[in-house]
Amino acid sequence: MNNKPIGIFDSGVGGLTVAKEVVRNLPNEEIIYFGDNGRNPYGVRTTEEIIYFCEQITRFLISHDVKAIIIACNTATIAALDELVEQFDVPIFGVVRPGVSAVIETTKNKRVGLIATESSVKSGSYQRLIKEKDGEIEVFGQACPLLVNIAEECLYETRISYEASKYYLEDLINKGIDTLVLGCTHFPLHRKNIEEVVGERINIVDPAFKTVEGLCEFLEKNNMKRESGIEVHHKIYVSGKTEKFKNLADDVLNGDYNVEKINIEEY
């Protein structure tokens, strides 16, 4: 048993889609969430900047005595996972390798669409890791920066989300893909609109499911699960504005959360 909380972070609201899966699969676990909404989007930042931010956030989460950390951000996973694993003692999980495994299991025609931030698409990480597992799979990448902003603005259930999804996805659909990986944790918030645009023929992969599956296995294997029957109080912190973030957290995590702004530069 280990009753310490699990740290989860993202550049903003996107990681809440991963937190939601943690809450669903591990209802006894307590979460400390950090959304770096004062400094996002990460997708246009340099690797050095992202590593610097992630180091601060990791120190912040460790100051809350977390037993494990999920980098609930593809961009940050690609830029900083290896660096963080090397530097810190706490177990740290990323979302990209789980996403890659899900893609391999899903595609039949070996034509895969990747939607992500500009830096994730340009890094070629998903493409490389997928090719390493199956050299025949072709990956077509498309950066969708507006989908990050629309989600941060809490507009993912509007026409704006639908139109932006359509704008970004049209070319990918024409490539004959049978699988679309949501390579940015903000994008599952647009899922309904994305589904409407791509239709039933294309399978959507959300890396959050496999990520949380991996976390469950890890906690189980290392006897690190939290006791059942004790109260659960998730804590949410941000580096920027709290109001929209709270609305979204309440919506995604289905509750009434207190969102606290902190000065992350102190860590």
Contact positions vs ligand DGL (CB under 6 A): 10-12, 14, 40-43, 73-75, 117, 120, 148, 184-186
Of 91 and 240, nearer to ligand DGL (C-beta) is: 240
Cβ of 2: how many Cβ atoms within 10 Å? 15
Kindly report the number of other CB atoms within 10 A of residue 118's CB atom: 17
Given the residues 54, 73, 154, 216, the one annotated as active site: 73
For this structure, is 154 an active site residue? Answer: no
Active-site residue identified among 54, 154, 184, 216: 184
Rounded least distance, CB 151 to ligand DGL, Å: 8
Query: Cβ of residue 17: shortest distance to ligand DGL, in angstroms?
Result: 9
Q: In this complex, which beta carbon is closest to ligand DGL, that of residue 43 or of residue 141?
A: 43
Preceding omega of 5 cis (within 30 degrees of 0): no
Shortest CB 108 distance to ligand DGL, Å = 26
5 or 94: whose CB is closer to ligand DGL?
94
Residues in the chain: 267
Q: Is 73 a catalytic residue?
A: yes
**Distances 17 to 14, 89, 187, 250 between C-alpha atoms, Å:** 6, 26, 9, 12
Burial class (CB within 10 angstroms; exposed 0-12, middle 13-18, buried 19+) of 162: middle
Q: State the catalytic residues.
A: 73, 184
